[in-house]
Amino acid sequence: MAERAHERDEDAVSRFVERFAGELADAGMQRMAARVFAALLASDSGTLTSAELAERLQISPAAVSGAIRYLSQVHMVGRERDPGSRRDRYRLHNELWYETFTRRDQLLSRWESTLRDGAASLGPGTPAGERVAETAAFFEFLQGEMLSMMDRWRAYQAARREALAATPATAAAPGLAASDTVAAEIAGSEVLASESGAGPHPRATAAREG
């Protein structure tokens, strides 16, 4: 699907792709995977072929393949066949950030269960047992907060889409929906760096209060 180039400043888009890719890489994502993901995010269709990605990012097909493999493994990108063609297209998953957070919740649930078993094995009265039990309690708390946050996001998303539908199309920047920008900033930092135990992204708080 062709991009609407006349509505876009391609240099500005390229700068965004590289800047956001750098932020994702700083948070722990593989650098080339971050660039491919950012390029898909910045495309109007949310889908590009390997050749299109290689051309936009000025990288080799092998580099695209490696990046797609990584993104597929972490469930951030899917593969589909071009109608009437043997070419594959790579697409961002619908509700990407919601699905990512849902999978992270499942991961936290497994961690919590394992940690509680470990705390019992270590003994509740031992320093190690208490440390592991508190870690399990942290993950239990985090799960509850994430589920509550996603419920609030759904309500905010519905209200925002309703408001955007009533405003002129020029209100949003072409080529990259504002909701994608906010979600990318929030989830890019929280999802990829969640193991650090960092607090809520400030844009998430601002979005709920705004």
Condensed to tens digits (0 to 9), the pLDDT of residues 33-61 reads 999 999 998 888 889 999 999 999 999 99
Q: What is the pTM of this model?
A: 0.63
Over 90: is that where the pLDDT of 186 sits?
no
Distance (Å, rounded) from C-alpha 155 to C-alpha 207? Answer: 11
Question: For 5-92, which CATH class?
Answer: mainly alpha
User: Domain segments of the chain: what residues?
Assistant: 5-92, 96-209
pLDDT at 105: 76
State pLDDT tens for residues 109-127: 888 999 999 999 998 889 9
Short-list 129, 30, 48, 41, CA closest to 87: 48
CA torsion sign, 206 to 34 to 103 to 118?
Answer: negative
- Note whether 128 and 122 are within 8 A (CB): yes
Model confidence at 200: pLDDT above 60: no
86-114 mean pLDDT: 81
**What mean pLDDT do residues 168-178 have?**
49
Give yes or no for a contact between 59 and 32, defined as CB atoms under 8 angstroms apart: yes
Closest CA to 64 of 82, 73, 51: 51
End-to-end CA distance of the chain: 35
Non-local CB neighbours of 41 within 8 Å, separated by 6+ positions: 20, 92, 176, 180, 184
For residues 133-150, average pLDDT = 89
